[in-house]
A and B are shown apart, each in its own frame.
Chain A
Amino acid sequence: MIVLDDVTFGYSRRKPLYAGLNLTLEPGSVYGLLGPNGAGKSTLLRLLSGLLYPQAGQIRAGALMPGDRQPAFLEELFLVPEEFYLPPVRIRQFVEGNAPFYPHFSREQMAGYLREFGLTDDLKLNELSYGQKKKVLIGFGLATNTALLLMDEPTNGLDIPSKSQFRRLVAGAVDERRTVVISTHQVRDLEALIDPVIVLAEHNGRMSVALKASVEEITARLWFGLLPALDTHRPILFSERAVGGYAVVAENPTGESSRLDLERLFNAVQADPARIRSLFSTRSTVAAL
């Protein structure tokens, strides 16, 4: 379990990005980390991986602290950054060189992922396109079977069929000991994959977790749908014009079932984070808010 306890961090001491951030990540889930530009999604991933040190508070990954960068922690962590570096070697050499660092690495899985993405291990990494390189890195990250897998905008640069391949592969690689955190703007790409959802929003000039809830909790508390006209009786959180009426996110006091729309959920949270917070704060699972 990963615990962020009262974490404060900022690139400038006078203007912290996060102050008193609390968050708990449980194993066995694919967390979707959403937030506006500059919200610090990538920063949060780097804090979780120990690349940045919190100015106050603590981050714990089980008994280990990411900031200590101990081999025991690093063996159980893999980060797929948005912008990454791959050495100018063949995929086979890259795997042979880096796989021994990860005790749970599966060469069979890696071979399968490469096959799935239409790549062969004799290809040179420096001759591949950005999307192909990303596929190699995603495949390698999944094959490491680390307890914590962090991905920053993993679908950027992937073509349309690769995005569905990505969803399928990630879903298949998650087990009860693994925590996957995916930071993304491409919510439509990952709608069917991420659960729970974490949404960052501004609160008193600092970024904080405005929502952390499972898809089930969200759809139990919110209703997503299309209305021919705006219904004044519904407690609407967000609405926008759509073909045939209005796409709406509203409170769901009756527990009416609906299908989660991540993009509109995100907009609803950004429009009124305080209301979302109070709506979800009654549940014990979102106590961290």
Chain B
Amino acid sequence: MNQTFSLSRFGRLLRTYFTENRTMLLANVAVLFVVLIAFSFVVYHQMPSVVSNGRYALLFLVGGGAWYLFTVQQMAVLNQKERAISYLLRPASRLEKWAQFVLLSGLGFLILYLLVFTLIDTAGVWFINHRAWKPEELKSIRENYDNQLTIGSYLNWAQMSKLPVNFWLSAALIHPASLALALLVRRYTLPLLPVIAFVFVCILIFINKQLLQGFVDDQVSVSGGIFGNAFVEKGNDWRMVRVPQPIGDVIRYSVGASAVVLLYITAYFRLKEREV
């Protein structure tokens, strides 16, 4: 049998995982459901146009937090000696074990989360569209909220494309970063990872600013938004620095994609070298 990857062995690994962790997975889904319902109760009780945009914050913030917690929870198996022994000695290749983590905590979570969110959004949309508004609420909607009384599903590309780039970038980085960092930090993993990520972002912003300053030989202020512009100060006169397009986007997306790939590779090597 192939020592690097075998589909039957990988399938066996997944089956055993689902059998042995069924209770924990069901509990996770239940908690996610309850948390989403609790937040939705607040979000979907607002005016339709507010809900229309506000639910994306719910989607990304709760989703991001839950994704981080779930990934760290999965990787915690390797930080508990007894569980790590049982897992690492299971007859499967390193690639299969890594793929199991990536698939379950990555794609698995994403599918399940989007399913749950779609379900809740469908119920929320139905509630908004069938809501009996009070006269004063109707007046406020007419005057302040573009007279919007109904909303559609959150799966609306035109609306989603207007979301801040930070949302998408965080969504792309949260899983590989949690995976790699959870394999790097063995103790106090859950509280330490956000601190490490925050420090890392601060260092990155500082380096970015220093680099720009070096290029333009002037005072520089970097935009808070990722993929935003930099501002160069000339006395009291602000000037904007823009990387020419399309090379600007090529650089930005290449850096982002490389970061994601490198984080997954780091996770693989950390798993490969893990000692118990």
Q: Which residues of A contact B20 (CB under 8 A)?
A: 87-89, 93-94, 97
- Which residues of A are found within 8 Å of B12, using beta-carbon distances? 100-101
Closest to B276 in A: A51
CB contacts (< 8 Å) of A89 on chain B: these are: 19-20, 22
Bound together, the chains give a CA A94 to CA B90 distance in angstroms of 13
A271 contacts the other chain (Cβ, under 8 Å)? no
Q: Render A61-103 as a binary contact track against B, CB cut-off 8 A, 1 for contact.
A: 0000000011110110111010111011100011011101110
Q: Which one, A49, A50, A93, contacts B19 given CB within 8 A?
A: A93
> B190-209 vs A: 1/0 string, CB under 8 Å?
00000000000000000000
Q: Are B88 and A102 in contact (CB under 8 A)?
A: no
Given A70-B3, A93-B19: A85 in contact with B85 (beta carbons within 8 A): yes
Which A residue sits closest to B12, measured CB to CB? Answer: A100
Q: Which residues of A contact B94 (CB under 8 A)?
A: 69
Interface positions of B from 1 to 37, Cβ below 8 Å from A? 1, 3, 6, 9, 12, 15-16, 19-23
Asked if A53 is at the interface of the complex by the 8 Å CB criterion, the answer is yes
Q: How far is it, in angstroms, between the C-alpha of A154 and the C-alpha of B22 when the chains are bound?
A: 29
Which of B38-46, B75-83, B108-116, B242-250 participates in binding chain A?
B75-83
Provided the pairs A71-B93, A88-B23 are in contact, do residues A98 and B81 lie with their beta carbons within 8 angstroms? no
Contacts of A83 in B (CB 8 A): 81-82
Q: When the two chains form their complex, are residues A71 and B85 in contact, meaning their CB atoms are under 8 A apart? A: no
A52 at interface by CB-CB < 8 Å: yes
The bracket for how many chain A residues form the interface is: 20 to 34
Task: Assess whether B23 is in contact with A69, with CB atoms less than 8 Å apart.
Answer: no
Q: In the complex the two chains form, what is the Cα distance from A47 to B83 in whole Å?
A: 17
On chain B, the residues within 8 Å of A72 by CB distance are 1, 3
Is B19's CB under 8 angstroms from A97's CB? Answer: yes
Q: Known interface pairs A72-B3, A77-B89, A85-B82. Does A53 touch B19 (Cβ–Cβ under 8 Å)? A: no
Q: Is the CB of B90 within 8 A of A53?
A: no
Q: Verify A102–B91 contact, CB threshold 8 A.
A: yes
A96 partner residues in chain B, CB cutoff 8 A? 19
Are the CB atoms of A85 and B83 closer together than 8 Å? yes
- Bound-state CA distance A49–B275 (Å) is 11
Whether B138 sits at the interface, judged by CB under 8 Å, is: no
B91 touches A87 (CB 8 A): no
Among B1, B85, B94: residue with most chain A CB under 10 A: B85
| B24 nearest CB neighbor, chain A only | A88
**Shortest beta-carbon distance, A176 to chain B, in Å?**
23
A48: min CB distance to chain B, Å: 11
Q: Answer yes or no: A206 CB below 8 A from chain B CBs.
A: no
Q: Using known A-B contacts A46-B276, A101-B12, determine if residue A85 contacts B80 with beta carbons closer than 8 Å.
A: yes
Q: Given A51-B275, A70-B93, A71-B92, do A81 and B85 touch, yes or no (CB 8 Å)?
A: yes
Task: Other than A51-B88, A81-B85, give 13 A-B pairs with Cβ distance below 8 A.
Answer: A51-B85, A69-B94, A70-B3, A71-B1, A77-B89, A87-B20, A89-B19, A96-B19, A97-B19, A98-B16, A98-B90, A101-B12, A101-B90
